[in-house]
Structure 1
Amino acid sequence: MKDTRKTAVVIGASRALGLGLAAEYLRRDWNVIGTVRGSRRTGLHQLAEASGGRLTIESLEMTEPDQVSALRDRLAGHTLDLLFVNAAVTRGDIPIGEVPTDMFTEVMVTNALSPMRVVETLGPLVAPAGTIGVMSSDQGSIALNTEGGQDLYRASKSALNQLMRCYAVRHAEDTRTLLLMDPGWVRTELGGPDADLSVEESIPGVAATMERHQGKSGLHFVDYQGQVVPW
């Protein structure tokens, strides 16, 4: 019998928010394809073993364009209902004038350029009524930046938002939903131990918000509670 479950691809699913999102979509009875970097065993492998074949794992170093193209070729037989790119690094709270050039390049390539390469390359595999989402942050909002700090991380997320806006304008006739997701301040390696939310508190809201926006074409910047985030 044909499998009628929806399919989600989660880029960067080995731990924290990405792993939580893969688990959430399994709970929602989707099939999930999650990516990890390299061959190291991760929490995603444990999740796959308990998934009854509904979770498959692909290896991807997102910053390598050839690997993104190879993943597209491996997924060519799939029609995706959701493509979600979850990947980010931060290198500490350093004033921008003190940030070394190689650090600036690394963070921008990882947080802004590489997610957009994934969107551009894998986006055509997403169904016309499907969703393309990237993990943004309220720290990417210029309007909400009233305290400063985290200069480079903020700039990288603002750049990601702007690049998604460019993508949306170029694909103005596209019926797919485009989402910039703010998961809230979450206790992860990136968010730190003092953050407000656990992964288990954030991710169900992220998934529910994406589900509510299905069928709403154009670009939306929203948080895990479904609230619009100002640009």
Structure 2
Amino acid sequence: MTDTRKTALIVGASRTLGLGLAAEYLRRGWDVIGTVRGSRRTGLHDLAETSDGRLTVESLEMTEPEQISALRDRLGRRTLDLLFVNAAITRGDLPIGEVPTEMFTEVMMVNALSPMRVVESLRPLVAPNGTIGVMSSSQGSIALNTRGGQDLYRASKSALNQLMRCHAARTAEDTRTLLLMDPGWVRTELGGPDAELSVEESIPGVAETIERHRGKPGLHFLDHQGQVVPW
């Protein structure tokens, strides 16, 4: 019998949104590969122990290009139906003129450059009718920014969106679906305790939106309810 289970690679799956997405795709019957940083035990390892072998844990530090290449080599014989990159840090709410150069470089590296390096490097592993998604944010929307604040975080997500747009334009003939996903304001370390949504309320909508757009080539900027987010 041919195994028809789909395979998802969730990059950045050790906790909160990434871990929730890995768990959601397991619930949907997929095989899942999830990445964590370093060798420390995480919630993803706990999830793998209860997955009946359907979840594989890989180590990846996205800011190290050689580790991205090594992961691509290790997965070279796998075909992915979904590649989803989840990465974001913030370093406080400072006006941009007060942001140290080292902080600017770190946030841009983690939130914008590194996810795109993963997309560019691992794209050949994704099936022609597969999906490549990146966790963005409505805070990356220039049109929605009417209050300011979180200057560096907003800028990093806007940069991510623009870089994905560049990738989409450069690969315009590609049949894969490209998604920028806004999970909503979620109670994570990043979102804070006063956020509107729990991970359990956000992630099923994220996964459903991803699946609803399968087979729709081009780049789409969407939220967890499937609504278009203004650029």
Aligned counterpart, 1:134: 134
1:161 Cα shift?
Answer: 0.1
1:154-182 CA deviation, whole Å, 9 max, x = no partner? Answer: 00000000000000000000000000000
Aligned counterpart, 2:190: 190
Alpha-carbon separation, structure 1, partners of 2:130 and 2:8: 10
SS state of the match for residue 222, structure 2? Answer: strand
Aligned counterpart, 2:9: 9
1:119-138 CA deviation, whole Å, 9 max, x = no partner? Answer: 00001100010000000000
User: After superposition, where does 1:53-72 map in structure 2 within 5 Å?
Assistant: 53-72=53-72
Aligned counterpart, 1:166: 166
When normalised by structure 1's length, the TM-score is 0.99
Aligned counterpart, 2:203: 203
Letter in 2 for 1:7: T
Alpha-carbon separation, structure 1, partners of 2:151 and 2:48: 37
When the two chains are superposed, the root-mean-square deviation of aligned CA atoms in Å is 0.5
Aligned counterpart, 2:104: 104
Alpha-carbon separation, structure 2, partners of 1:223 and 1:38: 30
User: After superposition, where does 1:110-121 map in structure 2 within 5 Å?
Assistant: 110-121=110-121
1:40-67 CA deviation, whole Å, 9 max, x = no partner? Answer: 0000000000000000000000000000
1:87 Cα shift?
Answer: 0.6
Alpha-carbon separation, structure 1, partners of 2:41 and 2:128: 34
- 2:189 is the alignment partner of 1:179: no
Letter in 2 for 1:136: S
SS state of the match for residue 56, structure 1? Answer: strand
Alpha-carbon separation, structure 2, partners of 1:166 and 1:200: 32
Alpha-carbon separation, structure 2, partners of 1:216 and 1:7: 18
Letter in 1 for 2:223: D
- 2:47 is the alignment partner of 1:35: no
When normalised by structure 2's length, the TM-score is 0.99
Alpha-carbon separation, structure 2, partners of 1:40 and 1:11: 16
Aligned counterpart, 1:52: 52
Unaligned runs of 5+ in 1: none
Q: Between Structure 1 and Structure 2, how many residues are aligned?
A: 231
Alpha-carbon separation, structure 1, partners of 2:112 and 2:87: 9
Aligned counterpart, 2:212: 212
Letter in 1 for 2:85: V
1:58-91 CA deviation, whole Å, 9 max, x = no partner? Answer: 0000000000000000000000000000011000
1:4 Cα shift?
Answer: 1.6
Letter in 2 for 1:25: Y
Alpha-carbon separation, structure 2, partners of 1:45 and 1:12: 13
Letter in 2 for 1:143: A
1:202 Cα shift?
Answer: 0.1
Unaligned runs of 5+ in 2: none
Letter in 2 for 1:61: E
Alpha-carbon separation, structure 1, partners of 2:2 and 2:84: 24
SS state of the match for residue 57, structure 1? Answer: strand
Letter in 1 for 2:30: W
1:3 Cα shift?
Answer: 2.5
Query: Percent identity at matched positions?
Result: 84
User: Which segments of structure 1 move beyond 2 Å, counting only runs of 4 or more?
Assistant: none
Letter in 1 for 2:67: Q
Letter in 2 for 1:205: G
Letter in 1 for 2:221: F
